[in-house]
Amino acid sequence: MLIKRKRAWDLPEAAATDEAAFLNRRAFAKLFAAGSIAAATSSVPFAGPAEAAEAVGPPAGDPSAGMYPFERNGAYALERPLSQERLVSTYNNYYEFGSSKTIWRKAREMPVRPWQVQIDGMVEKEQTVDIDDLLNRMPLEERLYRHRCVEAWSINVPWSGFPMAALVDFARPLSGAKYVRMETFVDRDVASGQRASWYPWPYVEGLTIEEATNELAFLATGMYGHPLPQQNGGPLRLAVPWKYGFKSVKGLVRFTFTDQKPLTFWHEVQGSEYGFWANVNPEVDHPRWSQASEKFLQSTDDIGFAASPKEVPTQKFNGYGEQVAHLYTGLEKEYGVKLWR
Ligand SMILES: Nc1nc2c(c(=O)[nH]1)N[C@H]1C(S)=C(S)[C@@H](COP(=O)(O)O)O[C@H]1N2
Ligand SMILES: [Mo]
């Protein structure tokens, strides 16, 4: 019998967290040793070329399609090529639609209009803004960013959108606000993963105001020169490339300005492994695997057990230290390296 063993980088956070946290540990260990989880996951079909047309491209009937492409901001260059769009569109983490990587088909059934974004908490005036109004008000551009998942795989993506600093400006936060709490939509009918009651829905993430207004913090409305497909977080998602991927929250409907550090989704699920800061740091291992290197995924050929994608060293702050390292110098002294996870 062929026993397929999962590699750490292939281990979905599902296997890493919900089984570990919610199933009997010995039962889980047995199941894992027997290869059932690996077998179940490895048999999931990734989209072949024939399916690509269905998986790739903007959501159906997106009224903003005519605004794309946005002008590329040349300040963000990459040392490796962009990842293939078909890969980025069909290899996803989006627990609202299930814990496997192949949720794209389900996600694409989600309507992206009407889509309202609530801005509340410690702001001059609470407001709800329509996504299309927001698109008309924001300074739109394209940026090429690295994306480094905590599972130790990475991709290079051309995002379209606007700097989060522009949204913070628009929100007019009060001087006492210290954090921005971000919330994903809830719709149990469309997002079947949200029927899993052991997760603390909605998905919540957070940044300090200094992080949110750093030049790198980006709100993406598109990728590859067109509106963002649902599986990648359309119509609105965060892209914070110096942090592990789970910080880049998808399907955003709410920004709350607050003086309280937000309790984030993954921190609530598995606090010892997924912290608030989550800055990419090759020197701080995940409790169950090394973060020293990553598998760079360029195309769908790099996925699966047979393939051997490029192993590259992970860089501190995912290579963005020049822009963000200064945000953490005080914290490092205050809390030590542990809270960096
Ligand atoms: N709402 C929500 N946002 C999310 C997630 C999620 O499960 N739900 N997964 C995160 C993780 S772990 C990663 S790696 C990225 C994946 O983004 P991509 O599918 O566009 O590559 O989305 C992040 N944002
Ligand atoms: Mo991730």
Residue spans of the domains in the chain: they are 30-71+78-335
Q: Give the pLDDT confidence of 21-35 residue by residue, as tens digits.
A: 333 333 334 333 433
What is the percent of the chain with per-residue pLDDT over 70, rounded to a whole number? 81
φ, ψ of residue 291 to 5 degrees: the values are -110, 15
DSSP 277: S
Answer yes or no: are the C-beta atoms of 231 and 102 closer than 8 Å.
Answer: no
Determine the atom of ligand 1 nearest the C-alpha atom of 13.
Answer: 12
Q: Which CATH architecture has domain 30-71+78-335?
A: Alpha-Beta Complex (3.90)
Residue 67: exposure state from Cβ atoms within 10 A (0-12, 13-18, ≥19)? middle
Chain segment 18-73, per-residue pLDDT in tens: 333 333 333 334 333 433 333 334 434 555 666 677 899 999 989 999 999 999 99
Which residue type does 123 have?
Answer: V
The candidate with the shortest Cα–Cα distance to 241, out of 341, 316, 327, 331, is: 316
CB of 17 sitting under 6 A from ligand 1: no
Report residue 301's pLDDT band, with 50, 70 and 90 as the boundaries.
confident
The structure's pTM equals 0.87
Measured in Å, residue 90 CA sits from the centre of ligand 1 at 12
CB 141 within 8 A of CB 73: yes
pLDDT digits (tens, 9 = 90+) for 88-147: 999 999 999 999 999 999 999 999 999 999 999 999 999 999 999 999 999 999 999 999
Mutating to test ligand 1, I would choose from 10, 187, 250 the residue with most ligand atoms within 8 A of its C-beta, which is 250
Provide the 10 A C-beta neighbour count for residue 46: 17
